[in-house]
Amino acid sequence: MSTLNILFWNVQKKDLTAQIINIAHNKDVDILILAENPVSSTQLVQALNTKGPYYFQNNPLSQCRKITVVSKFHYDSITPLEETSRLTTRHVHLPTGEDFLLTGLHLVDKGSFTTESQNEAASLVADQLLKIENRFRINRHIVVGDFNMNPFEIGMIKANGFHGTMSSEVASNVSRIVQTREYPYFYNPTWSLFGDLNKDVSGTYYYKHAEHVCYEWNLFDQVLIRPSLVTNFVKNSLEIIKTDGVSSLVTKRNLPNQKTYSDHLPLFFTLKF
């Protein structure tokens, strides 16, 4: 049995190399996915490799401007299949002989797009991911990133969107039919991270505004898992990172320290094979 640790972090266009290095080594991260990273992947890998284990620059010619991927795997083992400016899909080949698809994405934000536009964008991306799965005949797929939507929003749950369910049991049905068309499920365990019942933070992103409807805490950073990989997902591994192992990433009020670090907190999880 081998484990694979994955970390996602939207670094808010800041050079957080020191914090990334701390987390990567403290959490033994195998695949690191960053959004809005201003540091070149070459510089990041060089910094990470000042002490082992060593990381590789994956796809230095990437066409995806929003996402940076580095990992402990040689680039031949995490092959790019399709990219746009906002997402990159890789075919991950594990030393154990198993494989799966891994997509890192950063979708359109609420400040620039209406709810209706976000929902439409979700449908388009979900359809694109399904076409990739069908084209390469692989339904083992992990999608992680900044969706700029909460797990309960329409784009995340509608059948012709990401069709994400909070229940692994529901996801085990693989798909459901709506008006004669079949829609595959994603399992979205990120629902369980809402609230402070077992932790100090209630989400990955905090925003307070003077409107009648204001969630304040949001979970824009999520991981979606196809049913065929649910048994490989270590449920109790999913966590919101609030320290890099050296310094706290949150304020005294347990809010993301966006002045010093990022307005998003990192998301971490483990797969077992």
Q: Six-digit token pair at 5? A: 């640790």
pLDDT at 60: 73
For the entire predicted model, the pTM comes to 0.96
Other CB atoms within 10 Å distance of the CB of residue 21: 20
Contact between residue 30 and residue 271 where contact means Cβ atoms under 8 Å apart: no
Domains of the chain: 3-272 (3.60.10.10)
Question: In angstroms, rounded to a whole number, what is the distance separating the alpha carbons of residues 209 and 34?
Answer: 27
pLDDT at 265: 98
Q: Six-digit token pair at 163? A: 């069709």
Residue in the block written with tokens 């499920």: 185
Ranges of the chain whose pLDDT falls below 50: none
Distance between alpha carbon 105 and the CA centroid of its chain, in Å? 7
pLDDT at 151: 98
pLDDT at 245: 96
pLDDT at 237: 98
pLDDT at 133: 98
Residue in the block written with tokens 């997402």: 87
Dihedral (C-alpha) 101, 102, 106, 108: value to the nearest 10 degrees? 20
Question: In angstroms, rounded to a whole number, what is the distance separating the alpha carbons of residues 170 and 9?
Answer: 28
pLDDT at 52: 76
pLDDT at 140: 98
Question: In angstroms, rounded to a whole number, what is the distance separating the alpha carbons of residues 74 and 94?
Answer: 11
Model confidence pLDDT, tens digit, residues 243-273: 999 999 999 999 999 999 999 999 999 999 9
pLDDT at 61: 78
